Amino acid sequence: MEFRFANRGDRVATIDDVAKRAGVSKGTVSSVFSKKRPISRQVTERVLEVAKDLGYFPNHVARSLAIKKTMIAGLKMPISKDNTMSGFEIQLINGVIRECSKQGYRVLLDPLPEHDDPTQFSIDPVDGVIMLNPRRQDPRIVRYNQMGIPLVLIGRPDPEDPTVSFVDNDNTNLTLQVGAHLLENGHKSVLFLNAAADMTVASDRQLGLMQAFANSGQPADRVHVMNFSRKINSSATEYGYTALMNMYGQSAFTAVIADTDRVALGVLRAARELGVDVPGELSIIALSNDAILAQEVTPKLTSVELSAERLGAEAAQILIRKMNDMNIVQQSIIETKLIIRESCRRLS
């Protein structure tokens, strides 16, 4: 009688209900679903039929507790209030999801802010986690270690630590090359619209660019660096727009390096309004996160491909390996590539 209501939502059927109704043990029902041990044809059919009748589906949580595995990978990613996931983040997530689902893992997004109260420390039901934008001396790294949860960073740990796994671009080398390219093309002064100052990528990239100028004997003050600010700038495009509006004519740069394609879009708009021809009078190079976008604007953007998707996929692969063997440590650098299109031209 009780069963009659099981699929009306009053009470969800459990393995016990199925076992009793089918006249077998719970272990047998379990085996029918998990296929971990062979069950006779007849019993299998009876169990499946009863299960269907009762609307029974195995409880994932109970199963996870028993086998001590959730088959879920956590993606720790702060969500900005201003709603904008960057193209970079999106591609990255895409890479993570693709790789995880290939291996049967689901992905849990946890954007919840970190809490200091230890009794509030958010523990996710995951077998491992991928963490974006680790902070300096990030306390979470040791915490995950204590919890026995495999961890892979996207972005390098600061300070360096040979025991933590991560994937990253070679950000210093990236801007070193961009800088070299600009210098080779006669640009001796550049405006760098960099990422937010508290990100490790921002300092790495600034370093590389300065290096390039130093290498070619240029004075350091030829590089004008600005940083995105969540407080001041309402969006990436607005950042690019405002920056060029304020700086053009103030400093004598002939090229702009934009942190993302969207920043570059803002720069382009400002240039249009100022009547500045790109790339005739001003060159632009974007540190790209959106390959399609870069090719569809006019002029097409010369940009650096960061391969966000590969970063995500690689992080997921390492994590999956690590979930099978906690002792694995792997640190990967994903190549970047400068793609010449139309927005950057030799200074004549």
Partner DNA sequence: CTGAAAGCGCTTACAG
Backbone angles phi, psi at 296, to 5 degrees: -100, -10
Residue 329 DSSP code: -
| Rounded Cα gap, residues 191 and 101, in angstroms | 42
* Binding partner selected for residue 284 from DNA, its own copies, none, CB under the kind-specific 5 to 8 Å limit: none
State in angstroms the smallest separation of the CB of 21 from its own copies: 16
Q: Nearer to its own copies by C-beta: 169 or 237? A: 237
Which range, of 37-45, 131-139, 206-214, 325-333, touches DNA by CB under 7 A? 37-45
When binding is defined by CB under 7 A, the residue of 8, 36, 81, 231 that contacts DNA is: 36
39 binding DNA? (CB under 7 A): yes
* Binding partner selected for residue 250 from its own copies, DNA, none, CB under the kind-specific 5 to 8 Å limit: none
Q: Are 174 and 206 in contact (CB under 8 A)?
A: no
Strands 190-194 and 223-227: parallel
Q: What is the CA radius of gyration of the chain?
A: 27
Strands 337-339 and 302-305: antiparallel
Helix, strand, or coil here: 199?
coil
Q: Which residue has the tokens 């300070």?
A: 159
Q: Nearer to its own copies by C-beta: 85 or 214? A: 85
Q: Nearer to its own copies by C-beta: 77 or 201? A: 77
State in angstroms the smallest separation of the CB of 266 from its own copies: 8
Q: Nearer to DNA by C-beta: 26 or 230? A: 26
Of residues 43 through 102, those in contact with DNA by CB under 7 A are 43-44, 56-59, 62-63, 65-68
State in angstroms the smallest separation of the CB of 45 from its own copies: 12
When binding is defined by CB under 7 A, the residue of 5, 27, 55, 296 that contacts DNA is: 27
State in angstroms the smallest separation of the CB of 122 from DNA: 13
State in angstroms the smallest separation of the CB of 171 from DNA: 39
300 to each of 195, 273, 326, how far by Cα in Å?
22, 18, 45
Q: Are 283 and 346 in contact (CB under 8 A)?
A: no
Amino acid identity of residue 106, one-letter, is R
| Rounded Cα gap, residues 268 and 262, in angstroms | 10
Q: Nearer to its own copies by C-beta: 32 or 180? A: 32
Chain centroid, CA 212 distance in Å: 28
Other C-beta atoms lying within 10 Å of the C-beta of residue 229: 10
Residues within the interface to DNA (CB under 7 A): 12, 14-16, 23-28, 30-31, 33-34, 36-40, 42-44, 56-59, 62-63, 65-68
